[in-house]
Amino acid sequence: MKVLFYGTPEFALPTLDALLRRHEVVAVVTQPDRPAHRGQRLTPPPVKARATAAGLPVLQPARLREPEWPARLRALAPAVAVVVAFGQILPKAVLDVPARGSINVHASLLPRYRGAAPVARAIMRGETVTGITTFKMDEGMDTGPILLQSDPVPIGPEETAGELAARLAVLGAEVLIDTLARLDTLTPVPQRHAEATSAPRLKRSDGYLDWDRPASQLVNVIRGCNPWPGALTTSGVGRLTIWRATVVGSGHLNPPGMLGHHEGRVVISAADGAVLPIEVQPENKRRMPWAEYLRGARLAAGARFLRPAFLEP
CATH class of 204-297: alpha beta
> pLDDT class for 300, splitting at 50, 70, 90?
confident
> pLDDT class for 29, splitting at 50, 70, 90?
very high
Torsion of CA 226, 312, 112, 145, to 10 degrees: -110
> pLDDT class for 197, splitting at 50, 70, 90?
very high
Q: Is the pLDDT of residue 313 over 80?
A: no
Percentage of the chain beyond pLDDT 90 is 91
What are the residue ranges of CATH 3.40.50.170 in the chain? 2-195
Cα atoms in the Cβ-side hemisphere of radius 13 Å centred on 254: 18
Compute the distance between CA of residue 280 and CA of residue 241 in angstroms, rounded to an integer. Answer: 6
pTM for the model stands at 0.95
> pLDDT class for 41, splitting at 50, 70, 90?
confident
2-195 falls under which CATH superfamily?
Formyl transferase, N-terminal domain (3.40.50.170)
Other beta carbons within 10 Å of 266: 16
> pLDDT class for 251, splitting at 50, 70, 90?
low
pLDDT score of 118:
99
Q: What is the pLDDT of residues 265-286, one digit of tens each?
A: 999 999 999 999 999 999 999 9
